[in-house]
Amino acid sequence: MQSLGLPAVTGFDEMIGSGSEVRPHYTGYHDWLLQQDRQVLQRKRKEAELQFHRVGITFNVYGEDSGTERLIPFDTLPRIIPGAEWLQLEKGVIQRVQALNLFLHDIYHDQNIIKAGRIPAEQIFGNAQYQPCMQDVDLPNQVYSQISGVDLIRDDAGTWYVLEDNLRTPSGVSYMIENRRMMMRLFPELFAQQTVAPVEHYPTLLLETLQQSAVHSHPTVVLLTPGRFNSAYFEHAFLAQQMGIELVEGADLFVKDGYVYMRTTAGPQRVDVIYRRIDDAFLDPLAFRADSMLGVPGLLSVYREGNVVLANAVGTGVGDDKSIYPYVPDMVRFYLDEEPILANVPTWQCRREAELKEVLARLPELVVKEVHGAGGYGMLVGPAASQAEIEQFRQRLLADPDNYIAQPTLSLSTCPIFVEQGIAPRHIDLRPFVLSGHDTRVVPGGLTRVAMREGSLVVNSSQGGGTKDTWVLEDGEASSC
Amino acid sequence: MKLSINHRTEYRYSELVQHSTQYLRLTPRPSSRQRILNWQMALPESAERASDGYNNILHVLTLDRPHQEIALTVKGEVEITDEDGEDADHRLSPLVFTRYTTLTEPDEALRALASDLPGDNMGRKLENLSETILTAMPFTPGATDVASSASAAYRVGKGVCQDHTHVFLACCRALGMPARYVSGYLYSQDSSHVASHAWAEVWQDDSWHTFDVTNQTRRPRHHLKLAVGMDYMDACPVRGVRFGGGAESLQAVAQVSELGPGDNQ
């Protein structure tokens, strides 16, 4: 038997401490690992890959030939979070999502946060994500973001930060569930040995959340997908199947006499709640982009009258836009009268002249992002960029400073993955999924994304990132939801 | 001034349409400036009345049986007062109207036009802008179409009221002035003029002020407002989506005439 030695780590590693010791919450796993045969582990990894192909967990990658599907790499070494630490994270993301929902309700109604001078009016109303059609529309429960993904990272010191909020159509939760199933299938003994908080009940909680968002009981809930060419189509089909609801495309729905109906073999059936995985711009070709073939003509008129619920609401993008992100800690103080539990990454707003000046002077060390960008596109990672790339980005910044924010390059914590030679550290992040119905709830853990390339900080699955199973240990302190 | 409106729009299709849905902005909202004496719509089926995000009256018409034509008729009588300057009609922030849209995104030429305006105050600058636009692009039907952007129409150097309005909006927004698109009807003694019309409103001193570029007027005394929005796409009288139908032909007749003082007694 060949054992797996611990790799050297620089920065903060989840498993291995600065003195090259295994962190306490990983000792159970590490003891098990030491007893494993490398060939057996290798075989199990192959098996996982085969299984994922069989169930069809694939991902369309933007920018490649359309229809190109590939597997998101899955690493079998779990990312483990101690129960007590999770408790803090859970409180932090719930607090943040509650504040963001209150913010969205406020700016689409009385706009107290603007009147109080905490956010400049033009930052909201000049933002393309603020939807005029949502002004003064009352939503049941006043919940705008029923499903939120909060991206968390840790720096060199192990301090947690919120990197960004996702309040539009956050994806990835199917990987969280499938990764756990896979680990339980491959290594059942690991789960007998220690208590890992379950995540399998996420679809049940999601369905409850969607049902709670309706005005009356026993609502008909459907999942609206852009179709099989969408990168997250697998997830749409998976969640609909898990929840036992219909998976529909725009053409399956129509609007008549103030309601939304689904075409079924038994005639039209009224729809009460739509879990939509389509962006605002494509929802209703009569109200937004006229060229959208994905949406439902007339949908917005029904929605504004309160005769159908959309999850998430139209116009949530103004809460997770990168230009609004710097204000979120202040939202927590303003709406909840609490101090934020989770910190923001320090952020320079290039729309402010003094901050732009500082950013331009420090480009080689900073990360610069487009305020409306997503998926790791349109950004500059200073330390990894060539002189030419930095100069090119400088011109873009100067041409349109309002369009950019900048942050220090946080190196992200690492967690070992299996590689040819044994195990080696790779950078990771964490996306817990927060559900807002009558209460705000989170299943323990979330999706851990891994930058599979050595040294890389880009964890996005669209750019070659992989995933890991995420364990929250029930060591007596973890809550259960 | 009392006006009588008679507007008929007919869409005909070369093949059967299986299903169609339309947003109709064909009903004026009463205001201090326009009193609605009566207003009727004749539609192929009853439509659901709603409002849109700009507080326009919206009718949603769904035809879910096969059809080969859609005829929409509106008839009404209104009274227009001769005053400019309308209060914000609801709580939407005017700052929303500083944003560009696909149709009102200025290119270099429009940015230059906006930044070089003579005049010692914004009101004078905007009047000069209005004059300059009409000179640069005289009223010429057929040179542009409904999908032409402000920049494209300005390059063509010709246009209709919709193009004049889009160019004006693009320049106002480049100056940071909230400005919105208005669609409606215009009374003209010269019956050769099109009665369906578009003009702009600019937010200044806490109210909306008219700039009708095509007619070089700031007094909307012959103007009946149907809808407002960021651009044509938000405010247009009919916006629809259909499944099937093949080629479409459109015939629209809009007549606006002056009512005598005793005509509606």
Residue B200 belongs to domain with CATH number: 3.10.620.30
Residues of A in contact with B58 (CB under 8 A): 301
How many separate domains does chain A show? 1
Residue in A111, A121, A132 nearest the CB of B54: A132
| Confidence at residue A52, expressed as pLDDT on a 0 to 100 scale | 81
Nearest chain B alpha carbon to A114:
B93
| Confidence at residue A374, expressed as pLDDT on a 0 to 100 scale | 58
| Confidence at residue B89, expressed as pLDDT on a 0 to 100 scale | 60
A344 has pLDDT over 70: yes
Residues B57 and B171 in one domain: no
B60 contacts A258? CB cut-off 8 A:
yes
Of A144-148, A165-169, B90-94, B250-254, which gets the smallest average pLDDT?
Answer: B90-94
Identify any residues that bridge with A139 across adjacent strands, giving them in sequence order. none
CA distance A297 to chain B (A): 6
B43 lies in a domain?
A: yes
Q: For chain A, count helices (H), then strands (E).
A: 15, 23
Identify any residues that bridge with B211 across adjacent strands, giving them in sequence order. B200
A177 has pLDDT over 90: yes
| Confidence at residue A459, expressed as pLDDT on a 0 to 100 scale | 84
Q: Say whether A38 sits in a helix, a strand or coil.
A: helix
Residues B252 and B164 in one domain: no
Helix (H) / strand (E) containing A147: strand A147-154
Residue in B21, B99, B239 nearest the CB of A255: B21
Full residue range of the structural domain in which residue B67 is found: 2-81+238-258
By the CB < 8 Å criterion, does B203 face chain A? Answer: no
Residue in A122, A290, A298 nearest the CB of B21: A298
Number of A/B CB contacts below 8 angstroms equals 76
pLDDT confidence tier of residue B265, bands split at 50, 70 and 90: very low
A366 in Cβ contact with A407 (< 8 Å):
yes
Mean pLDDT of chain B: 93
Residues of A in contact with B54 (CB under 8 A): 132
A196 has pLDDT over 90: yes
C-alpha span between A412 and A419 (Å, rounded): 20
Q: Which residue has the higher pLDDT, A215 or B77?
A: B77
- Whether the model clears a pTM of 0.90, i.e. scores above it, the answer is yes
Residues B48 and B119 in one domain: no
B87 lies in a domain?
A: no
Q: Which residue has the higher pLDDT, B264 or A93?
A: A93
Residues of B in contact with A321 (CB under 8 A): none
Residues B27 and B157 in one domain: no
C-alpha span between A447 and A468 (Å, rounded): 7
Residues B49 and B132 in one domain: no
pLDDT confidence tier of residue B262, bands split at 50, 70 and 90: low
Residues B210 and B253 in one domain: no
By the CB < 8 Å criterion, does B93 face chain A? Answer: yes
Of A59-68, A140-149, A155-164, A392-401, which gets the smallest average pLDDT?
Answer: A59-68
CA distance B191 to chain A (A): 32
Percent of chain A at pLDDT above 70? 93
pLDDT confidence tier of residue B236, bands split at 50, 70 and 90: very high
Identify any residues that bridge with B36 across adjacent strands, giving them in sequence order. B78
Residues B128 and B108 in one domain: yes
B231 lies in a domain?
A: yes
What digits encode the pLDDT tens for the residues B166-196?
A: 999 999 999 999 999 999 999 988 765 668 9
Here the CATH number for the domain that contains residue A396 is 3.30.1490.270
How many separate domains does chain B show? 2
B115 lies in a domain?
A: yes
Nearest chain B alpha carbon to A128:
B99
By the CB < 8 Å criterion, does B58 face chain A? Answer: yes
For chain B positions 207-236, those within 8 Å of chain A (CB to CB) are: 230, 233
Residues B55 and B115 in one domain: no
| Confidence at residue A104, expressed as pLDDT on a 0 to 100 scale | 98
A452 lies in a domain?
A: no
Encoded tokens for A293: 């073939």
A267 lies in a domain?
A: no
B86 lies in a domain?
A: no
A15 lies in a domain?
A: no
Residue in B50, B64, B90 nearest the CB of A301: B50
Which one of A90-99, A392-401, A461-470 scores highest in mean pLDDT? A90-99
| Confidence at residue A232, expressed as pLDDT on a 0 to 100 scale | 87
Here the CATH number for the domain that contains residue B39 is 2.60.40.2250
B71 lies in a domain?
A: yes
A 10 A CB-CB count for B235 gives 25
ipTM over 0.85: yes
C-alpha span between A184 and A192 (Å, rounded): 10
B239 contacts A256? CB cut-off 8 A:
no
Residues B167 and B184 in one domain: yes
What digits encode the pLDDT tens for the residues A254-311?
A: 999 999 999 999 999 999 999 999 999 999 999 999 998 999 999 999 999 999 999 9
pLDDT confidence tier of residue A375, bands split at 50, 70 and 90: low
Residues B102 and B116 in one domain: yes
- β strands within A230-384, DSSP E: 246-248, 253-256, 259-262, 269-271, 273-276, 309-311, 343-344, 348-349, 366-370, 379-381
Residues B56 and B118 in one domain: no
Interval A375-396 mean pLDDT: 86
| Confidence at residue B195, expressed as pLDDT on a 0 to 100 scale | 86
B89 lies in a domain?
A: no
B48 contacts A121? CB cut-off 8 A:
no
B88 lies in a domain?
A: no
Residues B112 and B183 in one domain: yes
**Most B CBs within 10 Å, among A131, A256, A299, A400, to test the B interface:** A256
What digits encode the pLDDT tens for the residues B8-56?
A: 999 999 999 999 999 999 999 998 889 999 999 999 999 999 999 999 9
What is chain A's percent helix, strand, coil content, to nearest 5?
A: 35, 25, 40
Full residue range of the structural domain in which residue A404 is found: 346-408
CA distance B47 to chain A (A): 7
What digits encode the pLDDT tens for the residues A310-326?
A: 999 999 999 999 899 99
CA distance B229 to chain A (A): 10
